[in-house]
């Protein structure tokens, strides 16, 4: 650390959905690095430490170094020429950038989807079916005397969910922190999160739905067959005890993760949990919260929802937004070989997607915006280096509970922001296609 340092207070860490806005960052202006992140958890410390200013090409076109301008031109041409262009990612960038992406899709009649579709998309689908009783994290911290973590391992994925927001944190009506709460962990294996749990419930893999449904029944005073033990690995007595605790608490919170959405049942699992939390409001105050992974995936949900009416998996090819998980979600659009061009922003499907989808990404022209080299940038035709949100560039992000926060960037970067690149791509595409792509078809028989 040199002598040339300064402190940026109340910056926001966007590594995970906790979006902690109490980061006090020490910035070394000689080495262009963040050398200290006070209040950050181990993940946040890595996030800040590893996002210094690297020497990278401004852009790569077919593996050849190029300027940002050249890359924007190449990207615009790809999108203008495509018949089924898709845009994906967007969870690790600002709302301002997300709005540009939706605007591009609306101009060219493209497909727009975010990492939600492979994260809590199923929970979003469940939400559309049953609704959700929820609260901001401060309510949970201040009031929750029963906190249940289901299908997630916050100790390793969201450490401060425990320490800042829900377990050890003290609150207005929870003056003694953890001592005033009962913590339950439900999972298929005992993870490090079990260390904070008063009660650990082990469920057989793929049986969460049955357990949740049994809990719903018990909460409503219905009979449950003791054979539930055989089926799910959870004894009836354990479930009866849990149901009783849920009804007896003053303010309960069910926080759930990918263990429900990424396994057999998907949106049925999320729906069962959301319905359980809603049911419990007949007896006490109970909320549920999907624990979001990326720093601004909630922002992506919000932006896409307010601009199109739907949270993810949206297609604009008919001139207006259409929503269909399974049809317009990116894994499907790629695995079936439907897209003929892709714009990936702040995501790495080249690493995280099924092979069939990755294979198709290799067949079509792909444009990537990312601060770092990734598997996706390696297979991309056009890879543009952009600066990192929350570290180099400001803007708006939404925490997992929808609280919007304005970023305080700490370190200027020579690379442009996602927003500025997308804006220029949008303008150039507009020029190339002469305005907007307006489909000629009319909706026959439907009044305007």
Distance CA 253, CA 137 (A): 10
Part of the chain binding another protein (CB under 8 A), chosen from 69-77, 81-89, 117-125, 213-221 = 117-125
Distance CA 407, CA 418 (A): 14
Question: Among positive and negative, which fits the CA dihedral 207, 210, 213, 219?
Answer: negative
Residue 107 CA: distances (Å) to CA of 35, 102, 148, 312, 421: 42, 9, 44, 17, 16
Contacts to another protein from residues 305-324, by CB under 8 A: 305-313, 316, 318-323
3-state secondary structure of 200: strand
Contacts to another protein from residues 37-96, by CB under 8 A: 42-43, 45-47, 49-51, 95
Binder to another protein among 355, 440, 444, 445 (CB under 8 A)? 355
Number of residues that bind another protein (CB under 8 A): 132
Site track for another protein across 206-245, x = CB under 8 A? x---------------------------------------
Which strands, in side-by-side order, build the sheet including 341-345? 64-66, 59-61, 382-385, 366-370, 341-345, 85-89, 111-114, 314-315, 322-323
Contacts to another protein from residues 374-413, by CB under 8 A: 374-375, 378, 396, 398-399, 402-406
Part of the chain binding another protein (CB under 8 A), chosen from 70-78, 79-87, 120-128, 217-225 = 120-128
- Of 30 and 156, which CB lies nearer to another protein in the complex structure? 156
- Of 74 and 258, which CB lies nearer to another protein in the complex structure? 258
136 binds another protein (CB under 8 A): yes
Part of the chain binding another protein (CB under 8 A), chosen from 25-33, 67-75, 119-127, 418-426 = 119-127
Binder to another protein among 6, 220, 362, 372 (CB under 8 A)? 372
CB 64 to another protein: min, Å: 19
255 CB-contact burial (10 Å; exposed 0-12 / middle 13-18 / buried 19+): buried
Strand pairing of 64-66 and 59-61? antiparallel
CB 361 to another protein: min, Å: 12
373 binds another protein (CB under 8 A): yes
Distance CA 146, CA 160 (A): 18
Contacts to another protein from residues 240-279, by CB under 8 A: 250-251, 258-259, 261-264, 266-267, 278
293 binds another protein (CB under 8 A): yes
Four-CA torsion 114, 119, 124, 126, nearest 10 degrees: 150
Question: Among positive and negative, which fits the CA dihedral 95, 99, 100, 101?
Answer: positive
Residues paired with residue 368 on neighbouring β-strands, in sequence order: 344, 383
3-state secondary structure of 204: coil
Part of the chain binding another protein (CB under 8 A), chosen from 12-20, 29-37, 60-68, 213-221 = 12-20
Question: Among positive and negative, which fits the CA dihedral 425, 431, 435, 438?
Answer: negative
419 binds another protein (CB under 8 A): no
């Amino acid at each position: 650390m040199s002598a040339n340092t300064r402190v940026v207070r109340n910056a926001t860490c966007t590594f995970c959905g906790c979006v902690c806005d109490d980061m006090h960052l020490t910035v070394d202006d000689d080495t262009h690095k963040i050398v200290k992140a006070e209040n950050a958890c181990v993940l946040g410390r890595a996030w800040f430490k590893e996002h210094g200013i690297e020497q990278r090409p401004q852009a790569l076109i077919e593996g050849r170094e190029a300027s940002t301008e050249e890359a924007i031109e190449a990207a615009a041409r790809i999108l203008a020429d495509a018949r089924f262009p898709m845009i994906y990612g967007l969870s690790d960038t600002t709302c301002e950038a997300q709005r540009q992406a939706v605007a591009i899709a609306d101009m060219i009649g493209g497909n727009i989807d975010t990492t939600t579709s492979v994260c809590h998309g199923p929970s979003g689908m469940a939400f559309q079916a049953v609704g959700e009783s929820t609260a901001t994290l401060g309510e949970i911290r201040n009031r929750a005397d029963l906190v249940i973590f289901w299908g997630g391992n916050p100790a390793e994925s969201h450490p401060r969910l425990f320490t800042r927001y829900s377990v050890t944190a003290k609150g207005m009506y929870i003056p003694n922190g953890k001592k005033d709460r009962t913590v339950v962990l439900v999972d298929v294996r005992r993870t490090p999160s079990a260390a904070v749990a008063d009660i650990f419930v082990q469920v057989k893999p793929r049986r969460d739905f049955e357990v949740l449904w049994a809990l719903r029944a018990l909460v409503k005073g219905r009979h449950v067959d003791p054979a539930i033990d055989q089926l799910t690995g959870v004894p009836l007595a354990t479930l009866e005890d849990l149901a009783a605790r849920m009804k007896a608490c003053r303010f309960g919170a069910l926080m759930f993760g990918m263990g429900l959405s990424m396994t057999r049942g998907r949106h049925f699992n999320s729906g069962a949990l959301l319905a359980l939390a809603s049911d419990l409001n007949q007896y006490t105050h109970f909320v549920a919260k999907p624990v979001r992974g990326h720093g601004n995936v909630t922002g992506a949900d919000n932006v896409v929802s307010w601009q199109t009416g739907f949270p993810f998996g949206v297609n604009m090819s008919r001139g207006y937004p259409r929503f269909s998980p399974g049809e317009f979600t990116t894994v499907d659009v790629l695995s079936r070989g439907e897209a003929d061009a892709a714009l990936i922003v702040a995501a790495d499907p080249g690493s995280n997607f099924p092979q069939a989808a990755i294979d198709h990404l290799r067949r079509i022209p792909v444009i990537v915006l990312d601060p770092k080299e990734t598997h996706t940038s390696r297979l991309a035709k056009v890879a543009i280096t952009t600066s990192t949100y929350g570290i180099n560039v400001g803007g708006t992000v939404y925490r997992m509970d929808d609280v919007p926060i304005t970023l305080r960037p700490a370190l200027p970067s020579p690379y442009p922001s996602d927003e500025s690149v997308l804006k220029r791509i949008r303008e150039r595409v507009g020029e190339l296609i002469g305005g907007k792509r307006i489909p000629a078809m009319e909706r026959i028989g439907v009044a305007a």
